[in-house]
Structure 1
């Protein structure tokens, strides 16, 4: 498949007072299946439809995404949901006001164990028995300290009675290096986005034992992030970028289009992994191993709305695990970061439905309900915490 994009789609280009203040954008991404909206936006010409030229720049790690957003080397990026929240709260690095323009997807991540560990524990309950009955502590990797992989991995472990800060060791590894780290024996398991779980399993190095959608159905995952300063100085650009990516997300809801996306993602400039491995957990139907990918890119806009309660949940977990010593203003932080104003304006232009409520209710793996209410009590209400 050629790596050059097709002819731009027909359609109006935003002009006049609504024209993008900065038409050429450097947009970062990590080699993951869920960068698909960005790849498709460029491949299908949705960026040019709205007066933009997205220049995609692959990044080696989430730390690099953070650093290049803050330095201005990137205008915006595919990012972990919790990356912007961590920066806003000054966790593990410099504090900077951030903006989350939209959600790019929900779900689509997994937890994989080495074959050696999976031979003793093929699920969370068995893993707990093994860990509590052994003097050794296995090492688990995630991708960024404040990211969704870390928080969902910790939640899954704790839901099975495993303390993620005491009973196991943890380390940070960039997503594309996960399968290799498992092969070398550097880690015993990890939580990461696809295709790096599917790749380890296809190579016989690991076994996927849980999908993150089992931890939290339709959980928030990757977002379109930038600094608040960029969004405030370039509101037309931000709206146009949201519109281009909403079109890409809507396109990805069609199964045949995901087949096309798998071929694009396999190219060396993007994910650079076997096309069949990518497709095995990108397509809506169950994979050959019986797992369902659980990834949503659009769902009539539901997967893209930047719910305040999603960001607030991340902050409750930072409090739970001792990354925050005091309760922040959970709602105020989410209102500051999640740019509902820009998202609603962009969605209205495209006729994409917008939920009435900025909160949503979910039941997680331990039976607890999270709906954005009583955040401080929720954060302190777990039996296992720091």
Structure 2
């Protein structure tokens, strides 16, 4: 007998693992009838998960943390027992802003440092000339997009809450907002950067992987109470999603995956606009680029819910004034990610699983083997563009060192 699960998702390329799990039969093989429901905003996904209309959801990585810290409308505890890949976002700016940036600095979308310096100079010129603040859009306050944009801006010498204005828009509205001139740039997941480029409205100037390589983006979110009451179903789902991630990560499947995702019920965009995020052939201001690590659905332990990722997002919530720092709040954030559930689910599959729950972030400049069971696992590179290191065991010091 099949168990039906309703899953909310947004039309983004990084929903691929959930979609492929249904379309390629991985969910069915585990006895799960996966009902995928497309939503228009992350607030809809969060609220419908909270009130029980969804059992599971494609979710922003900081969303369970924010919910558990009491920063959302409903008093519902979420957990993330699995990640849904690494990377997948980019920063796109209008043609006018690109020209202003290029006037002071040559850069490529894989050099976040030079791109940041160029943007900082454009911001200074605009301010000196008495122009209005630039408007950048992100998809939700508690999103990787908001925190990576802020991190990039601050490290580049731009004060996110003084020099520019950050506004909230659903992903599918980003390109049209750029076309209409309502925003000067945005940070969003694919394919909406490529859509903006295809419309002739702007160009990609930086990728998530150029700001923080191998960085977390989406997770599988479930209510903590549902996970406790349905542990066998959840474990079966994690097995199905892991097999789906393996399939999505194989280069020979990318063209088929792009066609699957292109369906009107899923992303509703041309396959040729979806494929670049999968094979790393994004088009930027300097022409077609090669970004091999733009989106990783499986390699580098891409589906493991590292608690160090949760703590980094927490550090940024503290940094930007969303929550006060305390040992209790840090523990709530850490426990929002559940590697113990992940390990239990995959224990019989003979696949490599990290033996640690956390790791130092930003320390790896190349791919290295790390401790895992039952076979070696390869991680990295995972560097931040500014050379910073995040050690979750030194959380207080890291938070104290952050500047706005």
TM-score normalized with structure 1 length: 0.90
Residue 25 (1) aligns with residue 5 (2): yes
Matches of 2:334 and 2:207 in 1, distance apart? 29
Partner SS, residue 349 of structure 1: coil
Matches of 1:33 and 1:340 in 2, distance apart? 24
Residue 372 (1) aligns with residue 396 (2): no
1:207 matched residue in structure 2: 203
Matches of 1:190 and 1:138 in 2, distance apart? 11
Matches of 1:130 and 1:85 in 2, distance apart? 35
2:140 matched residue in structure 1: 144
Provide Cα deviations, 1:53-105, integer angstroms capped at 9, x if missing partner. Answer: 00000011000011001110011001110111111111243332111010110
Matches of 2:124 and 2:70 in 1, distance apart? 35
Matches of 2:25 and 2:252 in 1, distance apart? 18
1:237 matched residue in structure 2: 233
Contact 1:27-1:78 within 8 A present in 2 as well: yes
Matches of 1:351 and 1:335 in 2, distance apart? 27
Structure 1: 5+ residue runs without aligned partners?
1-14
Provide Cα deviations, 1:267-321, integer angstroms capped at 9, x if missing partner. Answer: 1000011110111221156666214161111116x11111110000000000000
Contact 2:69-2:329 within 8 A present in 1 as well: no
2:116 matched residue in structure 1: 124
2:244 matched residue in structure 1: 248
2:342 matched residue in structure 1: 343
Which aligned pairs between 1:1-386 and structure 2 lie closer than 5 A?
23-122=3-102, 123-133=115-125, 134=127, 135=130, 136-284=132-280, 289-292=288-291, 294-299=294-299, 302-329=301-328, 332-361=331-360, 362=362, 363-382=383-402, 384-385=403-404
Partner SS, residue 39 of structure 1: helix
Matches of 1:328 and 1:93 in 2, distance apart? 23
Matches of 1:252 and 1:26 in 2, distance apart? 21
Matches of 1:191 and 1:248 in 2, distance apart? 27
Number of residue-to-residue matches in the alignment: 363
Contact 1:37-1:252 within 8 A present in 2 as well: yes
Larger mean Cα displacement after TM superposition, 338-347 or 228-237: 338-347
Matches of 1:355 and 1:131 in 2, distance apart? 43
Matches of 2:101 and 2:249 in 1, distance apart? 35
1:12 matched residue in structure 2: none
Matches of 1:28 and 1:172 in 2, distance apart? 20
TM-score normalized with structure 2 length: 0.87
Give the superposition deviation at 1:335: 4.2
Structure 1 residues 171, 328: closer, same or farther in 2, change over 3 A? farther
Contact 1:140-1:169 within 8 A present in 2 as well: yes
Matches of 1:90 and 1:113 in 2, distance apart? 33
Partner SS, residue 53 of structure 1: strand
Partner SS, residue 123 of structure 2: helix
Matches of 1:371 and 1:306 in 2, distance apart? 16
Contact 2:281-2:290 within 8 A present in 1 as well: no
Structure 1 residues 286, 116: closer, same or farther in 2, change over 3 A? closer
Contact 1:309-1:372 within 8 A present in 2 as well: yes
Structure 2: 5+ residue runs without aligned partners?
103-114, 363-382
Give the superposition deviation at 1:331: 5.1
Larger mean Cα displacement after TM superposition, 84-93 or 233-242: 84-93
Taking only aligned residues, the RMSD between alpha carbons, in angstroms, comes to 1.6
Matches of 1:248 and 1:276 in 2, distance apart? 22
Matches of 2:95 and 2:282 in 1, distance apart? 22
